[in-house]
Chains A and B, each alone.
Chain A
Amino acid sequence: MMTMRRGFSLAEVLVTCSLLALILGLLAELVSEYAAATNFGAAKDQATASLEFTIAQLRSDIEASVEILPPAGTQLKLRRVHFVPSSFIPPHATEVPAAPVPPIPLRFRPVTPPATWEPWPDTQLVEVTYKLEPSGLWRGVDSPSSSFPSGRSLLGAAVRGLQVESVSVQGLVSLRLSVEEAKGNVRSLNTYCCRMVDHP
């Protein structure tokens, strides 16, 4: 006599459900831990990117500075020439126009050099201030001229500490930055930046 099976027996269903529940439970735990690790890694990456951006800006300003004012703990103040982006000619160049010679490309035209050259005119020098506040590290630009933008911008929201120390009179500066990678996890970074401009 042929037996017709219409489903699973109770034991089969119980074993299957138990195994499924076990696998799903393990999987959920794995996914949860992996998600936590990924989120932690993402937070660290974000903090590192913020730190790198902050250091790049700090380094750019320090290298271009003509004068680094005495550092005061969590504040850095310096003066630098404001450059126009993507312009090879510095703003303080008083170029004398060449005689019109149309067939020759502009870049090959002879130019009479200026009779005077002031590399650091007061009107082109901006004062840059880095200040640590509870919301993060702020960069402020104070310009004497209305043609350059003055203002403040939040540079690194994850930055929780800034310690500036002048190492040498030639312009070597020690920077100690602390950044909050995750909740309550703060990492510190020490670096040195040097002024590249030979300012008397």
Chain B
Amino acid sequence: MKRRAFMVMLVMLLSLLLFVMGMGFLGKRSAQYSGAISRMKAAQARALAQAGLEDARVKLEKDLFFPPPGDRDQTLFSYTEEVKDDAGAIVGYYTVTLDSRYRHAPDPPDESYPSVILVEAIGSLGADSQRPDAVVHLKMEVDLDDGKRNVAGRDPIPPSQPLRVTNYSEE
């Protein structure tokens, strides 16, 4: 007698259909989750870059010898700091680069010269700095003028404001 195993084929086809549908749904979910995670990582990297800019701003305000003078011809000063969470695990890094090529300190001081420093902060999320999860660049121009200078005919800045951000940009 010849038996036809049509039920086995039917069950297998049904299983295949369910498997394909399940994989499809899982794939869709996976894409949604990865999208949400990447947005969260970008926000964290941005916060790291902001921390770098703020760190540089405070150092510029408080430290007269920041960035360190170094060689006379050196115009770039860069440093990297790691950021840890409460448990001591590395969250990420920020790298700050200060470009002093437009900073001018004539002797004797001349108020008509600008004293601008360009600051760039790169926030890198993740413990591995070589392969970060997300990277954000922030830039700002800082005028270190003591407030006595009059910029292009505008009102002078109050002396209580030792540092001001003249431009700010995010890449």
Contact = CB atoms under 8 A, between A and B. Distances in A.
Interface string B5-34: 000000000000010010001001100100
A60 B136 CA distance: 12
Interface in B59-77: 72-76
Interface in A111-135: 111, 113-120
B169 to A, nearest CB: 5
Contact of A197 (B73, B116, B157, B167): B167
* Main SS at interface, chain B: mixed
Interface in A79-100: 81, 83, 85-86, 88-90, 93, 95
Contacts of B32: 41-42, 45
Contacts of A104: 73
A89 to B, nearest CB: 7
Contacts of B72: 110
B35 interface: yes
Contacts, number: 105
Nearest to B163: A198
B165 A6 contact: no
Contact of A38 (B25, B75, B166): B25
A197 B101 CA distance: 21
Given A108-B73, A110-B72, A119 B101 contact: no
A116 B18 CA distance: 72
Contacts of A48: 36, 39
Contact of A52 (B39, B74, B140, B166): B39
B107 interface: no
A108 B75 contact: yes
- Interface centre among A63, A107, A108, A113, by most chain B C-beta atoms within 10 angstroms, is A113
B162 to A, nearest CB: 11
B101 A111 contact: yes
A143 B141 CA distance: 22
A4 B75 CA distance: 98
B75 A110 contact: yes
* Main SS at interface, chain A: loop
B74 A108 contact: yes
B171 A63 contact: no
A189 interface: no
B132 interface: no
A83 B99 contact: no
A95 B101 CA distance: 9
Contacts of A38: 25, 28-29
B107 to A, nearest CB: 14
B102 A107 contact: no
Contacts of A27: 18
Interface of B: 1, 18, 21, 25, 28-29, 32, 35-36, 39, 72-76, 97, 99, 101-104, 112-114, 116, 118, 120, 139-141, 143, 151-152, 154-155, 157, 161, 164-171
Interface of A: 4, 6, 27, 31, 34-35, 38, 41-42, 45, 48-49, 52, 60, 63-64, 81, 83, 85-86, 88-90, 93, 95, 104, 107-111, 113-120, 196-198, 200
7 contacts: A64-B169, A81-B169, A88-B118, A119-B143, A120-B166, A198-B157, A198-B161
